[in-house]
Amino acid sequence: MELGVVPDQWGPDMGPENQWMVDLTWPGQRMADVVEPNEEPDTWLGDQGWNVLELPDYAPDDLANVIVSELDL
């Protein structure tokens, strides 16, 4: 599926000790997209001011619009 939105980073390691891989990120907008939600890293990211978008919550056809909206593009 073509999203039309290119992430700044694919699969970066994040966390206090870089122990969690995040699927897609836009550091400038502090947005992280995760395919498999996990409470511990998602909470840590939120505490650091990141907006965590859990991709399974969205239908594939809606995903690009949701990402663009969240990024405020």
- Helix and strand totals (H; E) in the chain: 2, 6
Query: How far is 2 from 17, CA to CA, in rounded Å?
Result: 33
Q: What is the pLDDT of residues 12-70, one digit of tens each?
A: 999 999 999 999 899 999 999 998 889 999 999 999 999 998 888 888 778 778 888 88
What pLDDT, on the 0 to 100 scale, is given for residue 22?
Answer: 93
Measured between alpha carbons, how far is 23 from 10 in angstroms, rounded to an integer? 6
